[in-house]
Structures are given as C-alpha cells and as structure tokens.
Amino acid sequence: MSAAPSGSLPPLTDEERAIFANAVRQARMLQRTLGPLCEVAIHDFRDLDHSLVHLEGSLTGRKLGAPITNIVVKAWRQQGDAVADLVGYPSSTPGGKSLKSSTSFLRRADGRVIGAFCMNVDLSDLLHFQAVLHPLLHVDPLERDVSETFATPMAMLQTISAPMTANSSAMLRSCRLRSGRYSTSARHTMASASALRSIRRKLPSSPSPHRIMPRQTGRMTNRYRLRKQSSSVHAR
C-alpha cells in the first residue's frame, strides 16, 4: 500500500496494519473471482484527499492516491463511527459506465472507522442485454381468461383407460347372453380392457393428481365365470 508522505500522517498501529492487510487479501480474492467487470478499492481515512491505498481492477481509471468518493465521505461525516455499510447503490464512471457499488467501513476493535473497502461492478453490458431481452420476454395478456393445460401421453392414457377398466365388469354383465356366454362384442371389450391394462403396466408411473386406480377385473376372473356358468348350463 502507498499513501501520502509518511512524515505527514500518524503511523498505523499493528492492529490497523493487520486490518488493511486482511482487506487487501479479500480485495484480490473478490476481483480475481468476479473478473474484469469488478473493481475493489481500499481507502485509508487518514488523508481523504489521497485515500486510495490499494486498487484491484481498473473500471474507474483511478490511480493510487486518488480521493475517496463524495457519497462515502458524506455518509461518514454525517454518522461518524456509527456509520452503516452502504450496499448496492448506483454510481458511474467519467466514461459513462453504469456501476453497482458497495462500501464496507473498516473499523478497529474499539469501533473507530479507519478506512473503507469499496467494490464496483460494471452493469453496462448487462443493462444492454436487459433492454434487448425485455421485448422478447414480454407477453401480452389475453382478452379473456383462458386456461390451457397440456397433458402427457401417460396422463391421457390413464384418463381414458381408467373409467373403461373400472366399468368393464358392468359393461360385460350387460352384454351377457341368456345362455351364460358372452357375445362377440363383449369379448372384444374384454380384450381391449386387458390390452390397456398391459400398456399401463409397462409405462412409468405418473404423478398426475387425476390418476384413477381401476378396480381389479382380471381376464382370469372373467374366464372363471365363463367356465362356471357354462358348466351350470350343461348340468341343466
């Protein structure tokens, strides 16, 4: 770090040197992590006209020995050592870049403010992208309230097959002939319901809240009924 001539300022204590040294390590880490869009500056308040003692990055074009910014000085002079950190305020460079800035005040153990840790992030390119994307992402509201739902194939299959499977027994009973046998249409219905059940077993389960569990009406049960009724007819 460098500052004004050493003879014109009171020397730093060991505690203050440790505070500034730690701030320098953090500044290097942040700037290298965030890259060229980030600048971190460390200020020593012993001389506000030449307060910049360490700089990582070059967004603002400043050099060591530059003065502290007006917003930081104003906050410190108004609130003194009780001043709160300034986070996320807008700022700009002489070249017109839009920045997002934050300042954390460096304090000794007794609470006295001795400097500031300032970070600037260039938002110029991000604001340009925002202006380009805004028209693309804008959606006009519909003139009337319309709710559109897109169903997955599995959900559609369950919606269609579940009522058919659940009501297959009633349908088959209504198609039963007096002889106790089933008509050709009834046997086709049984085959269709069995095929749907087979397809549903092979497909992955769906988390749809509208899933309806079918009643167990297996083909073996229907065949047993046919054989039993056929035997009773022949016995007569």
pLDDT string in tens for the chain (236-residue length): 444 444 577 899 999 999 999 999 999 999 999 999 999 999 999 999 999 999 999 888 899 999 999 999 999 999 999 999 999 999 888 888 889 999 999 999 999 999 999 999 998 888 777 777 777 777 777 655 655 556 556 555 555 555 555 555 555 555 554 445 555 555 555 666 666 666 666 665 555 544 444 454 455 555 556 565 655 555 55
* Tokens standing for residue 177: 């002939």
Domain residue spans in the chain?
6-123, 153-222
What's the pLDDT at 7? 52
Instruction: Provide DSSP, 64-76.
Output: TTPPPPHHHHHHH
State the DSSP H helix or E strand holding residue 190, giving kind and residue range, or none if neither: helix 184-202
Tokens 């400097």 locate to: 115
Q: Which residues contact 227 (CB under 8 A, 6 or more apart)?
A: none
Q: 45: closest CA among 73, 74, 18?
A: 73
Q: 90: closest CA among 77, 74, 101?
A: 101
Q: Helix (H, G, I), strand (E, B), or coil: what is residue 13?
A: coil
Written as one letter, the residue type at 172 is: L
Correct CATH for 6-123 of 3.40.50.460, 3.30.450.20, 3.40.50.360, 3.40.50.970: 3.30.450.20
Q: Bin 161: left if φ > 0, else alpha if -120 < ψ < 50, else beta.
A: alpha
Q: How large is the angle between the packed helices 153-166 and 184-202, nearest 10 degrees?
A: 140
What's the pLDDT at 152? 58
